[in-house]
Amino acid sequence: MQKEINIVHYWGGFPIIATSKWLRTLALINKCAGNGWNNWLVLSKEPDDLSLVEPFVKAGCKIIYIPRSKGNFDFRGIYRNIIFLRKIKCDIFHCHNDHTSPIIAALLSFVPVKIWSKLSMSSAYEKNEELSGLGRLMASTRITCWCADQILAISDAVKKEVCEQVGFERKIDVVHAPVPIDKYIQATGEGVRKEFGVKQTEFLIVAVGHFAEVKGWDIAVEAFAEVNKQNSNTKLLLVGKTTSKSFYNRILMLIKNNSLEKNVVFAGNRSDIPDILNASDLFVFPSRSEGAGAALIEAMAAGLPCIATNTGGIPGIIENGCNGFLFERDNVVDLSDKIIKLIMEPELKFQLINSAKKGLEKFTIEAYVENVFSHYQRLLKENNL
């Protein structure tokens, strides 16, 4: 008789809206449940919108709330997770974010299969900044990699970072960040421009992320200021939550100093991203550090020409001049020049869109689920489970 498999999907956070991460986790849990496995989803706290957990419960998944680790080595958090993992006799522990303390707990609980999905990059690594003091040891990353049986890097650039910092190349495989491609292709964008007061004749530039310095929205606003000087029939739409209040205030000051109050629109946190993208004319992705860039793939699926920073995992998605444009990090002039080029050359815009649609197959949620599940099966087999 085949052993019953108990798998824990450890988020280290909680859902705010139904993002691509939310969708791929749900699809993965449905796959596991369809194979008769018992699923647990660990969140740091109960989401404000409880409807976000209902599909998981419907799939037979148990929802557990364990506070996020306080620092890289949270002994109380380790203890809490040990109690939980031993109680359910966990066979597979898949850590999707907060990692060192939870994966230490999995090791001490004798969980046979321990997986870490590395979803982001270190901005210091991308900028070639020298770490000082104990930071040079990369203790948290090194210990997580040592404890894990498998590391799933979200892009080739993320894998390269881990290998160069701490090694463990034999444990690392690349599993690309997926998005629900069809959802973005089929969106209509109806009513979006009217809601934000954007005329059909205006050229709408959109950025999706959140108000944090790493997302580079200050670069987007500064570049847009130059674009708007040359073409006043343009608007910039910023979509995402206010993660950093100080950075939000900095953006407000940039807008005021450039007299752009009527041309820059804040959309806040939204659940209708596919429609917003479909109603726009151009997507900019000015991140200073980016492991993969799901928002960029979503924009390409929605049929938008894209301009993104030449950093992290982004060059693995965009080939400059072929399916989009890359600009150098923090280079306002480079970004504004490329925006103006696409406004002035509509034929080039459609060439980029058509090229982008041809390379989306590897980013589907179905491809992601099959890839990850194959790792589960292989690791279970190696442990005679």
Residue 202's pLDDT band (cuts 50, 70, 90)? very high
User: Does some domain include residue 328?
Assistant: yes
**Whether residue 338 has pLDDT greater than 70:** yes
* CA–CA gap between residue 110 and residue 301 (Å, rounded): 42
**Whether residue 243 has pLDDT greater than 90:** no
Mean pLDDT in residue range 225-244: 93
Q: Let me know whether 168 and 92 are in one domain.
A: yes
Q: Let me know whether 124 and 221 are in one domain.
A: no
Residue 71 Ramachandran class (φ > 0 left, ψ -120 to 50 alpha, else beta): left
At 110-145, the pLDDT tens digits run: 999 999 999 877 666 555 566 666 556 788 889 999
Residue 185 confidence (pLDDT): 87
Residue 252 confidence (pLDDT): 94
Q: Let me know whether 168 and 282 are in one domain.
A: no
* Residues whose CB falls within 8 Å of the CB of residue 31, separated by 6 or more in sequence, listed in order: 369, 373
User: Does some domain include residue 368?
Assistant: yes
User: Does some domain include residue 1?
Assistant: no
Q: Let me know whether 31 and 73 are in one domain.
A: yes
Mean pLDDT in residue range 195-206: 95
* Residues whose CB falls within 8 Å of the CB of residue 1, separated by 6 or more in sequence, listed in order: none
User: Does some domain include residue 104?
Assistant: yes
Angle at 194 between CA 241 and CA 206, to 5 degrees: 45
Q: Let me know whether 91 and 151 are in one domain.
A: yes
Residue 9 confidence (pLDDT): 97
Q: Let me know whether 155 and 69 are in one domain.
A: yes
- Does this model's pTM top 0.85? no
Q: Let me know whether 140 and 209 are in one domain.
A: no
Mean pLDDT in residue range 54-67: 96
User: Does some domain include residue 290?
Assistant: yes
Residue 323 confidence (pLDDT): 92
Residue 251 confidence (pLDDT): 93
Mean pLDDT in residue range 51-63: 96
Mean pLDDT, the chain, integer: 91
Mean pLDDT in residue range 151-178: 90
* Residue 312 near residue 289, CB atoms below 8 Å: yes
Residue 255's pLDDT band (cuts 50, 70, 90)? very high
Angle at 266 between CA 207 and CA 300, to 5 degrees: 20
* CA–CA gap between residue 115 and residue 81 (Å, rounded): 15
Residue 280 confidence (pLDDT): 96
Q: Let me know whether 139 and 207 are in one domain.
A: no
* CA–CA gap between residue 382 and residue 385 (Å, rounded): 8
Nearest to 238 by CA among 217, 215, 258, 222: 217
Angle at 296 between CA 299 and CA 155, to 5 degrees: 145
DSSP string, 2-60: PPPPEEEEE-SS--SS--HHHHHHHHHHHHHHHTT-EEEEEESS--SSGGGTHHHHHTT
Q: Let me know whether 43 and 186 are in one domain.
A: no
Q: Let me know whether 208 and 348 are in one domain.
A: yes
Residue 164 confidence (pLDDT): 87
Q: Let me know whether 163 and 52 are in one domain.
A: yes
Q: Let me know whether 268 and 357 are in one domain.
A: yes
* CA–CA gap between residue 176 and residue 367 (Å, rounded): 9
At 63-88, the pLDDT tens digits run: 999 999 888 889 999 999 999 999 99
User: Does some domain include residue 166?
Assistant: yes
For residue 135, the enclosing domain spans 6-178+364-382
CATH number at residue 374: 3.40.50.2000
H or E segment to which residue 284 belongs: strand 282-285
Number of structural domains in the chain: 2
